[in-house]
Amino acid sequence: MTDKIKALYALTLAKPQAHLGFYPTPLYKLERLSKHLGVALYIKRDDFSGMSLFGGNKIRKLEFIMGDALEKGCDTIFTYGATQSNHAMQTATACRRLGLTPILYLNTYVEPDEKDIRSNMLLGRILGAETHVVRSEPGQSEAQTEARCVEMGRAHALRLEQAGHRCYDVPLGGASHVGAAAFTQGYGELMEQCQTLDVQPEYVFCGAGTGSTLAGMMAGRHLLADKAQLVGITVSKKGPDYEDRLAKLCNKTLAWLGSDPGVSADDFTIDRGYFLPGYEQPSQAASDAIRLLARQEGLMLDPVYTGKAFAGLLGWIQDGKIKPGSQVVFWHTGGATALFAEQEIIGDLSQEK
């Protein structure tokens, strides 16, 4: 382990953490697919983070978030997302592990069927999470509905605070500097594994939603002065200020860890070409990517996040942006429960092809 990785760990391990997952998560080469694509393709299995079969990258963030909540003496956790949110389900899971009360405010991209509750909504119900489904009002945008969820959640938390509870508010996707710091640590973990395997990745790909995973990884890259190109493939529509917001979150994370900020919007490589037709809406490119990885390596992606992110990676190879023989890492963030969600989410994956 290099001195820079040791220094990175020293910064992150100084922060309170709840031990929820199992680390390091595996990193290994996809031998068959590498031969098929003409690159050396490695996969970082953060879908194995734990602590249940339905883990994913949010557990890594929740170790830091829940550690912060416990240090503050909180007993109730509020968070937000879509009805099939991986983050919301995993927040409820983490709460149950730690004896905290989860309260979820979820907006409807896809209308759930009360007679056929599926996937993360089913898991949330089994976990006993208090769940409030918030539907869009006429003429209201998705962003406005999300904002209404937060407004309702915070009003609810205020009532509980007045009754003597201590509440902790977790933003959509765990997108805070506290959550992002987990992926600063995770980037150090990845690079330590690469050293062991004698791998020097030229590209690291991941899906980009709220962006805290990518911002945290960029903070790790900055601390290590690493040269790999971090590529975020968006899974939903992003405005022109997205890179600026990521840079601000990254620098806030670095400052919270006690390091000097120094990341700019120009450091981020964001590809907006694979999210359509929209969030929680399947695309043919993602479906094809899911089938390819399944049939070449027996591994599952999901249609909301990792399928679109992997489609982006494949597109970069096909377009010649990634040269033959390059060493590439795909960060698998989990979310395969979406394969068992509503038909509107899974698209044509149930059809024989």
Q: What is the mean pLDDT of residues 50-70?
A: 92
Q: Which of 269, 193, 199 is nearest to 233 (CA)?
A: 269
Indicate the pLDDT class of residue 53, thresholds 50, 70 and 90. Answer: confident
| Burial label, 48 (beta-carbon count in 10 A; 0-12, 13-18, 19+) | middle
Q: Note the pLDDT of residue 95.
A: 98
Q: What is the mean pLDDT of residues 114-142?
A: 91
Check whether 291 has a pLDDT greater than 90.
yes
Q: Note the pLDDT of residue 137.
A: 84
**Tokens 């999210």 correspond to what residue?**
275
Residue 205 C-alpha from the chain's centroid: 12
Q: What is the mean pLDDT of residues 137-165?
A: 93
d(CA 162, CA 10): 38
Q: Note the pLDDT of residue 104.
A: 98
Check whether 55 has a pLDDT greater than 80.
no
The domains of the chain, with CATH numbers, are: 3-55+176-346 (3.40.50.1100), 57-174 (3.40.50.1100)
pLDDT digits (tens, 9 = 90+) for 316-343: 999 999 999 999 999 999 999 999 999 9
Query: Which of 34, 85, 119, 176 does the annotation list as catalytic?
Result: 85
Lowest mean pLDDT among 106-115, 150-159, 181-190: 106-115
Q: Is 34 a catalytic residue?
A: no
Q: Which string of b and e fits 28-42 if b means at least 16 CB within 10 Å?
A: eebeebbeebebbbb
Q: Which string of b and e fits 338-352 if b means at least 16 CB within 10 Å?
A: bbebbeebbbebeee
Average pLDDT, the chain: 95
**Greater confidence, 52 or 225?**
225
Q: Rounded to a whole number, what is the distance in angstroms from the first to the last CA of the chain?
A: 46
Pairing of strands 101-107, 130-134: parallel
Angle 319-313-300 from CA coordinates, rounded to 5°: 140
Provide the percentage of residues in the chain whose pLDDT is more than 90.
91
298 DSSP assignment: S
Strand order in the sheet with 101-107: 130-134, 101-107, 76-82, 167-169
Residues in the chain: 353
Q: What is the mean pLDDT of residues 74-86?
A: 96
Indicate the pLDDT class of residue 50, thresholds 50, 70 and 90. Answer: confident
Residue 266's Cβ-side half-sphere holds a number of Cα atoms within 13 Å equal to 1
Indicate the pLDDT class of residue 13, thresholds 50, 70 and 90. Answer: very high
**Tokens 């990634």 correspond to what residue?**
322
Within a 10 A sphere around the Cβ of 230, how many other Cβ atoms?
24
Specify whether the CB–CB gap between 133 and 108 falls below 8 A. Answer: yes
pLDDT digits (tens, 9 = 90+) for 82-113: 999 999 999 999 999 999 999 999 999 888 88
